[in-house]
Structure 1
Amino acid sequence: MLYEGDFRSPPGRFALVAARFNAVVVDQLTAGALDALKRHGVPDDRVDVVKVPGSFEIPVVAQRLGKSGKYAAVICLGCIIRGDTDHYDHVAGAATSGIARAGLDAGVPVVFGVLTTDTLEQAVHRAGAKAGNKGFEAAVTAVEMVNLMALL
């Protein structure tokens, strides 16, 4: 038997956890995610947006939301841009593993929509300028995963 999610209007509420750091980029990711959810039949009143200081803080909030039983999926949005120190590596690694762990612990889709780029220009391109909007893509992934989980 083959199980695969689809893109029809999914049931349940959705949470977006969005970092305030690098807001010029993350706000565009958030707008893209909200647009994707709306286009897939999720009305605004079934979406909660939670702002956190930065990408490092996303996992603990995503885990809390996922475990609450209120949400079909949690979409994590942030932007980490490489700097002159190894701070980037620590934050990117912690955000990545923390978001994965949040999903495993919560048992609901917790979708990774955190940009990790070398430059601000790359981030802007991935937030809708030239390379599509990765926030939109994360929300579409959430829709597909919610529909898949309903089959399992």
Structure 2
Amino acid sequence: MTNHVTGSQETLSPVKSSNPEIAVIQANWHIDIVSQATNSFTDDLEAAGINRRAISVFDVPGSLEIPLMAQKLAETGRYDLIMATGLIVDGGIYRHDFVAGTVLDAMMRVQLDTGVPVLSVVLTPHNFQEVPAHMDFFREHFVLKGKEAANACLQTLSNMALFSEEKRLAS
């Protein structure tokens, strides 16, 4: 595969085995909500046969710190997939849209630059308030999003394994 920025040849990171290594990055801002995605993601992957010890969780202060951690983790060559979760809230100064765009663009760049898939459960609700009803709703919503990320993880790992097998057979 050619890197269109540098023109150099590079290969995507294949799934190294039937026991893939997965990294989870979770932003600690509203960790009581964000950790729900981490927990359901991990539980569902374990139920699908992935060893829980193959899933490493890394904490960062907030969502803005996710892309750099994702890049550093991808560069190690250890992880077959990275999932990131965070909650970017509207603090009343219209900054949240810019933060969300920056985080998601950078996460996309990490996966395209390294070939390590990066899944996003970084959410930016329009009307989040720290009231019990919203807190409860988003805790449950992050459980659902963690489950969806687990399904996406399994499909992505399967796709990456097919790509790696096709590449192996072609050489």
User: TM exceeds 0.5?
Assistant: yes
Contact 1:81 1:123 in 2 (8 A): no
Aligned to 1:39: 47
Contact 1:127 1:135 in 2 (8 A): no
Change (3 A) 1:144 1:126: farther
> Higher mean Cα deviation, 13-22 or 32-41?
32-41
Structure 2 residue matching 1:98: 3-state secondary structure = helix
Change (3 A) 1:87 1:100: same
> Higher mean Cα deviation, 141-150 or 118-127?
118-127
Bigger share in strand: 1
Q: Work out the CA distance in 2 between the residues paired with 1:37 and 1:62.
A: 20
Q: Paired residue for 2:116, among 99, 105, 108?
A: 108
What root-mean-square deviation, in Å, do the aligned CA atoms of Structure 1 and Structure 2 show?
Answer: 2.0
Higher Rg = 2
Q: Paired residue for 1:134, among 138, 141, 145?
A: 145
Q: Deviations over 1:16-62 (max 9, x none)?
A: 00000111210111111111211111111101000000000001111
Aligned residues: 143
| Deviant stretches of 4+, over 6 Å | none
Q: Paired residue for 1:145, among 128, 153, 156?
A: 156
Q: Which consecutive unaligned segments of at least 5 residues does structure 2 have?
A: 1-16, 164-171
Percent pairwise identity = 32
Q: Paired residue for 1:23, among 26, 31, 47?
A: 31
Aligned to 1:67: 75
